Amino acid sequence: MNQWAFEYQVENIGKSVILHADCFEWLSRVPENSIHAVVTDPPYGVKECVQLHSRMAESR
């Protein structure tokens, strides 16, 4: 069992650990200065934003 899993669903992929949890609740339980990186699902609309910026750059 992973020390950071608490009661959450966890999946190990190589050396990475994927947790399905409420981010703010989970982070409140983890000791300070103990995390190397946190990767999250980007917000809705990022693809559209990138496309808009690309079109704007092309029009310059």
DSSP string, 3-52: TT-TTSEEEEETTEEEEES-HHHHHHHSPTT--S----PPPTTHHHHHHH
Average pLDDT over residues 35-53: 68
- Domain coverage including residue 46: 9-58
pLDDT number for residue 48: 63
The number of distinct structural domains making up the chain is: 1
* CA distances (Å), origin 13, targets 16, 17, 19, 24, 38: 5, 6, 11, 23, 15
pLDDT exceeds 70 at position 18: yes
Listed range (6-10, 25-29, 36-40) with the worst mean pLDDT: 36-40
Comparison of pLDDT for 3 and 42, the residue scoring more = 3
The whole-number pLDDT of residue 53 equals: 66
pLDDT at 60: 67
For CA atoms 43, 45, 54, 52, give the dihedral sign. negative
Does a structural domain hold residue 2? no
